[in-house]
Structure 1
Amino acid sequence: MTYTNEHKLLSSVQNERVKLWASLLEKKHRDRQRLFIIEGIHLVKEAITAGADIEAIVYDADKGLPKEIVELQSKTASFTEWFKATSNVMAKCTGTDSAPPIFAVMGKLKTNDEALYKPNSLVVVLDGVRDPGNVGTIIRSADAVGADAVLLGKGCVDLYNPKTVRSTMGSLFHLPIVEGELKPYIERAKQQDIQIVGTSLQATQHCYAYNWKQGSWLVMGSESDGLSAEIETLVNQTVIIPMKGQSESLNVAMATTVLLYEALRQREF
């Protein structure tokens, strides 16, 4: 166990380690280093509890190590390094004027594609959803209903974008999240009789009539463009969310959550 008074102080934004961490605010550097940053007590706590690959934990030297994290120090791996840092270093690495009291440098998550193909799997598939808040919220909703996985296609916002990570509220540590070309994954799912479900204003079946107890992959596109033409041709079930009021539509995160909770209701209640 590493004790608080042994943690090295980082005081200069010119420190090579600090410059590396600050570079992780950009996708190209996250991809190159296979690292990303999580911010705040809740996310760091979730990462430690999940046994995630944490390279370093850094906290504000003036505020001290948060008590919630002190209690979890012994649960971190032996290779996790601990640092305290000045406020300017904290701000540099998190890209914010009001820096969090703690952040962690993580290795990118390891995922198992086979989680997608569990019997009667419930998987959320995102096609070109670019808003980080929406993607993070969808991952959080998928976690909440006990979905088997989330699959992010090309054109989606980077899973490790700081805004996406914050929006997941730690759910990215709770279920497999796979990134890749959607077509081969969907084609394999169809070979296993998994239903590929999309939403459509022209659908004749509302979402409460569809049988969500069967293996179902819910495919959602961006609010502006919908599903790409290639993915739309692979959908073999379409549903519509009924609306009683005058709103034309729900945003993609809200619509996905409504559909996932209907799946949960049918499967569990």
Structure 2
Amino acid sequence: MLTSLTNPKVKEWKKLQKRKYRERNGLFLVEGHHLVEEAIKSEWTVREIILREEASLESVNALPVTYVSDQVFNEIAETQTPQGVAAVIEFKDFTYEPAPYSLLIDSVQDPGNLGTLIRTADAAGFNQVIVGRGSVDVFNEKVVRATQGSLFHLPVIQAELEEVIPYLKENNVSVYAATLEDSVPYKHIETQSNVALLVGNEGQGIREEILNHVDQNVNIPIYGEAESLNVAIAAAILMYHFKA
């Protein structure tokens, strides 16, 4: 059992709380029974399981397990009340492809929103999520937690949307942007497959240089006094519309 905060392995785990170290090592941490079990069931590579001394996990199988003290686990955990179960996961590379349903995300910076977008795309039956420049890191702990395991269910790709959108259009995928500017109500758009939905930054919306590439802008009518909808809520309405 590891009990020292100065142990080299503990230091390496602690570094994975920062994006530059995650990217350098190609690894990230997940916490909690549900997320760890979803990772184990998936095709992602689980490098190591970390268990607090009194914790247990049924689905460990033949995976390497390291037991640590309460003090060590609290040092590497980022949740307020850690469950005592964590895992080190290897990055998984995906390549974007033309697909019946794709969610494109431009510059979404709130971890909870990005995680919820991934989770909702999974629930709505979308085939892939493509996260563009300016968005929060997909492997940020709060993003991973907000996905509730959906990160391990469908490809989540980080790419330049300026390159992705023309490629999708060349392959007969219609690209719709959720924005008020020069847009039509979403109910005027017939449901269809081979569609990509683009959503943008919570405050600034979608960058102009990306909007120039889309086929049609769509909006969700506001019937009350609210100025706008949360980006994840708006995306959910539109994704389910296109899947209807």
TM interval, shorter chain, is: over 0.9
- Between structure 1 and structure 2, the one with the greater Rg is 1
Distance 2:78 2:173 in 1: 42
The 1:27–1:204 alpha-carbon spacing in structure 2 relative to 1, beyond 3 Å, is closer
Aligned to 1:73: 60
Q: 1:10 aligns with which of 2, 12, 19?
A: 2
**2:66 is matched by which residue type in structure 1?**
F
Aligned to 2:126: 147
The 1:234–1:204 alpha-carbon spacing in structure 2 relative to 1, beyond 3 Å, is closer
**2:55 is matched by which residue type in structure 1?**
G
Distance 2:17 2:214 in 1: 36
Distance 1:156 1:163 in 2: 13
Given that 1:35 and 1:107 are in contact with CA atoms closer than 8 Å, whether structure 2 keeps it comes out as yes
Distance 2:206 2:172 in 1: 21
For residue 243 of structure 1, report the CA deviation from its aligned partner: 2.1
2:184 maps to 1:205:
yes
Percent identical: 34
Residues 1-150 of structure 1 aligned to structure 2 (within 5 Å): 9-61=1-53, 63-65=54-56, 69-70=57-58, 72-74=59-61, 78=62, 80-114=63-97, 117-118=98-99, 121-150=100-129
Residues 224-235 of structure 1 aligned to structure 2 (within 5 Å): 224-235=203-214
Q: TM-score, normalised by structure 2?
A: 0.95
Q: TM-score, normalised by structure 1?
A: 0.87
Distance 1:97 1:202 in 2: 41
Q: SS at 2:118's partner residue?
A: helix
RMSD over aligned Cα atoms:
1.4
Q: SS at 1:37's partner residue?
A: strand
Q: 2:195 aligns with which of 208, 211, 216?
A: 216
Q: SS at 2:228's partner residue?
A: coil
Given that 1:57 and 1:83 are in contact with CA atoms closer than 8 Å, whether structure 2 keeps it comes out as yes
For residue 113 of structure 1, report the CA deviation from its aligned partner: 2.3
Distance 1:126 1:51 in 2: 24
For residue 133 of structure 1, report the CA deviation from its aligned partner: 0.4
> May I ask how many residue pairs the two structures share in their alignment?
244
Q: SS at 2:187's partner residue?
A: coil
Which structure 1 segments of 5+ residues have no match? 1-8
